[in-house]
Amino acid sequence: MDILNALVAILNYVIVPATAYGAQLALGALGVTLVYGILRFSNFAHGDTMAFGTAMTILFTWGFQAMGIGLGPLPTALLALPFGIAATAALILGTDRVVYAYYRKVRAAPVILVMVSVGVMFVMNGITRLLIGVDEIKFDDGARFLITAKEWKDWTGLAEPLAIRSTQALTVVVAGLVVWALFWFLAKTRSGKSMRAYSDNEDLALLSGIDPNRVVAVTWILAAALATIAGTLYGLDKSFKAFNYFQLLLPVFAAAIVGGLGSPLGAIAGGFVIAYSEVAVTYAWKKVAAYVGFESDGLLQLLSTEYKFAVSFAILIVVLLFRPTGLFKGKSV
């Protein structure tokens, strides 16, 4: 039974939270990688896009809650999500029109666009703070648990509890649906195909009559949608705080690079690689070790949780050193 308990502990403290976190990172990294593939720059404003999208979703959620509209066991935020996406997409398309379009016209170097995205980051960060403040906000409602620890214990008779929060299950389900829809879009639709063509070879795509403005607009809408969904799921799972979203930039970028910048499949793989490593390295393994017959005085924690960003960074450095194109062969080095 002890092996079973050890497995349940791993499931409860590592696999379940890391899967939810990995799904959130994967969605964020997909947005970064799409923008990189089509517009060819690293978008530093992506973390703040996630924050802005989440803030909009929260505002709509409050609106629905005030009107008494809800989804029963599901969080109201799910209903507000399309509105949040629409607002974010509108802001991003406006930003593209006012800011980025000019630099495409003059064919500015990618590093200039990175600098421009820092400016956009500042403005979006300020708008988010202005809208919703800097405090921590919890906006999950509906059922809290899919499986509670007590139910699990009564059901299995194991000493070790397993609790799955509804937000964790929801994250995985929504992320799965979104990824499926995105890949269907990229593979089957005309817009998706022109995006892939544009990403592979811009000149050839232009020659075949693909409208670059349309491709760019679709990319930004997808990036806005992915950022908002990722941000909202992260906020439901943990909580919303504008500064935490800025800090997500590093793991999100690391996930995109580990997978291979420009490769959607890689972004998903990268998200899970980062998330599992981060949680596994910062988890205190004392309890699991005890179940398999290894008593320890220490916590058996490789790194304290404050250093979780160091894990993303270490993986990033290893990938840069040994395989700069990433696991899935992204764009050029």
Partner 1 sequence: MSTRQPDAAAGGRMRAPLLFAAMAALIVLEGLTSGWNGALVILNMGLISAVIALGLNMQWGYAGLFNSGVVGFIALGGLAPVLVSMQPTEGAFAAGGWGVLIALAILAVTLAAAIWLNRRLRGKAKAAAMIAVLIAGFFLYRAVFDPAVAAIQAINPASQGYLGGLGLPVLLSWPLGAALAALAAWGVAKTALGLRSDYLAIATLGIGEIIVAVLRNEEWLDRGVLNVTGIPRPWPVPYEVDLQADPAFVQRMTDWGIDPVTGSTVLVKLLYTGLFGLVLAVILLGAQLALKSPWGRMMRAIRDNEISAAAMGKNVTGRHLQIFMLGAAVIGLGGAMMITLDGQMTPSSYNPLRYTFLILVMVVVGGSGNNWGSVLGAVLIWFVWIKAEVWGPTIMHLVTAPLPDGALRQHLQDSAPHMRVIIMGLILLLVLRFSPRGLLPEK
Q: Is 257 in the site for partner 1 (CB under 8 A)?
A: yes
Q: Does 41 bind partner 1 (CB under 8 A)?
A: yes
What is the rounded distance in angstroms from the CA atom of residue 213 to the CA atom of residue 205? Answer: 12
Binding test (CB under 8 A) with partner 1, winner from 73, 94, 126, 176? 126
CB of 86 to partner 1, least distance (A): 22
| Residue 137 is a binding residue for partner 1 (CB under 8 A) | no
Give the number of residues in contact with partner 1, rule: CB under 8 A. 54
Residue number with CB closer to partner 1 (8 or 50): 50
Nearest approach, Cβ of 105 to partner 1 (angstroms)? Answer: 8
What's at 188, amino acid-wise? Answer: K
201 forms part of the interface with partner 1 (CB under 8 A) = no
- Which one of 1, 3, 69, 118 is in contact with partner 1 (CB under 8 A)? 118
Least distance in angstroms from the C-beta of 300 to partner 1? 10
Among the residue ranges 175-183, 185-193, 219-227, 312-320, the one whose residues contact partner 1 (CB under 8 A): 312-320
Site string for partner 1, 224-253 (x = CB under 8 A): ----------------------xx-xx--x
Among 133, 156, 201, 323, indicate the residue that binds partner 1 (CB under 8 A). 133
In the complex, least distance from residue 303 CB atom to partner 1, rounded to whole angstroms: 10
SS3 assignment for the chain: CHHHHHHHHHHHHHHHHHHHHHHHHHHHHHHHHHHHHHHCCCCCCHHHHHHHHHHHHHHHHHHHHHHCCCECCECCHHHHHHHHHHHHHHHHHHHHHHHHHHHHHCCCCHHHHHHHHHHHHHHHHHHHHHHHCCCCECCCCCCCEEECHHHHHHHHCCCCCCCEEHHHHHHHHHHHHHHHHHHHHHHHCHHHHHHHHHHHCHHHHHHCCCCHHHHHHHHHHHHHHHHHHHHHHHHHHCCECHHHHHHCHHHHHHHHHHHCCCCHHHHHHHHHHHHHHHHHHHCCCHHHHHHCCCCCCCCCCCCCHHHHHHHHHHHHHHHHHHCCCCCCCCCCC
Which residues, 282 to 301, sit near partner 1 by CB under 8 A? 298
By CB under 8 A, residue 313 contacts partner 1? yes
Residue 121 contacts partner 1 per CB under 8 A:
yes
Handedness of CA 241, 36, 30, 80 (dihedral sign): positive
The only residue of 73, 82, 94, 119 in contact with partner 1, by rule CB under 8 A: 119
CB within 8 A of 251, min separation 6: which ones?
A: 25, 274, 275, 278, 309, 312
Q: Specify the stretch interacting with partner 1 by CB under 8 A; choose among 19-27, 57-65, 184-192, 308-316.
A: 308-316
Single out the segment in contact with partner 1 by CB under 8 A; choices: 6-14, 99-107, 203-211, 221-229: 99-107
Shorter beta-carbon distance to partner 1: residue 79 or 115: 115
Determine which residue in the list 158, 186, 284, 310 makes contact with partner 1, applying CB under 8 A.
310
Torsion over CA: 31, 37, 39, 41 (sign): positive
Residues within the interface to partner 1 (CB under 8 A): 36, 41-42, 44, 99, 102, 106-112, 114-116, 118-127, 129-130, 133-134, 246-247, 249-250, 253-254, 257, 261, 298, 302, 304, 306-307, 309-310, 312-313, 316-317, 320-321, 324, 332-333
